[in-house]
A and B are shown apart, each in its own frame.
Chain A
Amino acid sequence: GQQLNQSPQSMFIQEGEDVSMNCTSSSIFNTWLWYKQDPGEGPVLLIALYKAGELTSNGRLTAQFGITRKDSFLNISASIPSDVGIYFCAGPNYNAGGTSYGKLTFGQGTILTVHP
């Protein structure tokens, strides 16, 4: 089956620093998604990418859809304490008919800790 590998597994940074994380796949995806999970909550969608090479921003977050369609990157600029959480990349899991029905394959997650 499809597998997504995220790195790094965890990061400990100081407030104000920039953060970079990535996600690689053994197979091609035509959509990449980045979710964030706050402690004790469910994941929330941050950014969705639909085209190879696409660069999309959401406030201090910027994500890129790799041109090989086998990787994606997420950057956070000027981190703040509320950026703490687990960041997941995800891709749709399509059936033979080309529909995902909301089925996603998730990476293992990157745990981000921000020290004030």
Chain B
Amino acid sequence: DGGITQSPKYLFRKEGQNVTLSCEQNLNHDAMYWYRQDPGQGLRLIYYSQIVNDFQKGDIAEGYSVSREKKESFPLTVTSAQKNPTAFYLCASSIDRGIGQPQHFGDGTRLSIL
């Protein structure tokens, strides 16, 4: 079955530590995205990538970094510079052509502070 796999499901970060969230897709989609979801707020875009070896900042990129070395993979690193990292992180992908293509989501990683 095609889909988006995020791991781990739960992650704990210590003060001063960088952590990396994994996102893999086998849908052959060109574009991939990272969102953050907080209670009472809509999903907010962190980073997106339309093609391998290229990515752009979203609305809340400070304290985060990404890479896109393979079409299938788009890992997100939450750095120690992100002072409020506790949230539900969602990865998505879409066919990056045509009008209004939907984004498809993985099942998320919940990050908490120890």
Task: Indicate, yes or no, whether A interacts with B.
Answer: no
B interface residue numbers (CB < 8 A to A): none
